[in-house]
Structure 1
C-alpha cells in the first residue's frame, strides 16, 4: 500500500456555520459540495476535527453530495467547556448532532462516524431513533467498552490526557503515527498533530469513562449500515467491526486489508467510491 498523498491542495467552496447546541455551546460546522443531497454528515474521532475529512470534501466522486463536517464539543474551533459534565450525558452528544443536521436542513443524511464518533452515533440513535437519518457508515468505530475489542493504544490515549506537556506531546506523536499502517507525508502528520494539540488535556480526559451501551440501539436499527475497518488498526481492533456487523440487522462489513485506523485517508479513493455508491443507494430508498 502506498502512502496517502499530502493534504488536497484544492478544496471546493465551503459554507460555514456556527451552530448552537441545546445546552448552549457553539459548534463550528462547514458544508461542501452540492446544494442538495444525497446528504452526508461526517463526524471525526478522538482529539481530531472536521479537517480530517479533507479527502472526502474535495473528492470529485462525492461532489454530487451535500457534505457537512463539524468539530464536536471540546475540539477544533468549537467551544471547549472545562466542566467534565459537558462531555458525559448521551443526550448532549445526540442533541449536538441533531442541531448540526437541523442547521443545514439536511434530509435523512448518511452519518459517517470515525472511531469515537461511533459513540456519538450510538447516542443519537438511543435518543432520537433512526427516523431522521438514511444510513450509517461506521469507520473503525467504537460502540462498546469491551477491552478485547480495542487495540494496543489505550495507554497512549491515557497519556494524551496528561497535564504534563512533554508527556502529552510525546504520547500524541506516538498515537498519531500508530493510527496509520504506513508512514504518512510530513505535512499531513504535522496537520494531524496540530489539530490534536488544540484539544485541551482535560477535554481528552473527560471523554473517557462514558458507558458504551449501544447494543439495543444497533439491534433495532432499520436503515442500511456499512462497517468499514482497517485490518491493521492498532487503535480499535477489527473485532469491533465484526461485533457491529453481527448485531446490526442491515450491516455490511467492508474490511480494508493492509490499512490502519484511518481507511478514509489511507485508501481514500476506494473509500470515496464506496461511500458515493452507498449514499446513492440510501437516497434511492428514501
Structure 2
C-alpha cells in the first residue's frame, strides 16, 4: 500500500501528514509527547492500511511539523485538539475512529468533547482523568520519571531515559532524534494546562460518551495506574479494558501482532454501528 505524504497548514502550525488509501472508515492516529507519526509505522505496514484510510500526523512542535504559531495557546491540551480538528476538517473527514496514545490520547479525548467527527475512540496510555492535579494523581504514577513529561529542556540523558520509558528496548533509531527535536515549550505548557484543569473533564467525556470507547494498555506501562481504568463507568466501553501482555507504554509498537488485530476488530465494529447494524459492545462471559 502506497503511503501519501503532505503538509497541511493550520492556524496553529504546519502539520506533516501520512495517509494510506484503504476504503474503510478513516482511522486518525495521534502520537504521544516526544514522538512523531513514525511510531505508527507498524500499523501502516500492515493490512490495516489496506483496509482503512489511516491518517497520522506530527503534532505541532514534533517531528516534521512546525513549532506552534502561538506556543502559550497552541500547546495547551485544547490548542492541540484544535490543531487536530483543523487538520481533520481540511482532509474532509466526516466520520472517523480516533486512536490516541499517551499525550495523543488526551488530545483525542479533548477532540471528542467538541468535534462530531469521532465515531469511535481508542485510547492507550492515557487515563481519562478528572480536572486538576488530584485527578491526574489518580490516573498516573507519582514518581521522579513523571517530571520528564513537563521538563522544558532535555539533555541527552533525559532523552535516553524518556525513550526507555516509552519504548523499553524496542525503540527505532529515529525515536531519540524525535524526542530531542520536540519543542520543550509544549511539554511545560500542556502539563500546566492539564494540572490547572483547562479543557474538558476527560473522565466525564468518556463516561458520558455516546460513541464506542476502546481501552488498550500495556501490561507493564510505567506511567499509568492500570487499576484506575476499573473505576471508570463508561456505558459505551467496547468489550473490556484490554491489557496487552509483555508490553509497556507503547503496545502498538511493541506488540503489533496483538494490537493490530484488536484495532481492526474495533474499527469493524464501529463501522457496523455507524451503518446502523447493532452488535453487542461487551464480551459475554463464557
8 Å CA contact 2:97, 2:267 repeated in 1: yes
Equivalent residue for 1:239? Answer: 227
The residue that corresponds to 1:137 in the other structure is: 122
- Secondary structure at the aligned position of 1:210 is classed as helix
Shift of 1:240: 4.2
Q: Which residue matches 1:67?
A: 54
Distance 1:204 1:149, change over 3 A: same
Task: From the superposition, tell whether residues 31 and 189 of structure 1 become closer, same or farther in structure 2 (CA, over 3 Å).
Answer: closer
Match of 2:218 among 226, 230, 254: 230
**CA distance in structure 1 between the partners assigned to 2:74 and 2:53 by the alignment:** 30
Uncovered stretches (5+) of structure 2, i.e. residues with no partner: 130-134, 275-286
Looking at structure 1, the residues matched to 95 and 71 of structure 2 have their Cα atoms a distance apart, in angstroms, of 33
**Cα distance between partner residues in 2 of 1:284 and 1:66:** 16
Q: Note the 1:1-286 alignment, pairs <5 A.
A: 12-21=1-10, 23-34=11-22, 36-81=23-68, 83-88=71-76, 90=78, 92-128=79-115, 131-144=116-129, 145-151=135-141, 152=143, 153-159=145-151, 161-162=152-153, 168-180=155-167, 183-184=169-170, 188-211=171-194, 213-243=201-231, 246-251=232-237, 252-286=240-274
TM-score (norm 1): 0.83
1:234-266 deviation digits (Å, cap 9, x = unpaired): 0222134334xx232211311112211001011
Aligned CA-pair RMSD = 2.1
Structure of higher RCO (CA pairs closer than 8 Å, 6+ residues apart): 1
Number of aligned pairs?
259
Distance in 1, matches of 2:127 and 2:98, equals: 14
> 1:10-66: CA deviations, max 9, x gaps?
xx4222232232x352211121141x3221000000111111000001112442111
Q: Specify the SS of the correspondent of 1:234.
A: coil
Q: Point out 4+ residue stretches in structure 1 off by more than 6 angstroms.
A: none
Looking at structure 2, the residues matched to 272 and 108 of structure 1 have their Cα atoms a distance apart, in angstroms, of: 20
Change (3 A) 1:77 1:240: farther
Q: Secondary structure at the match of 1:127?
A: coil
SS in 2 for 1:207: helix
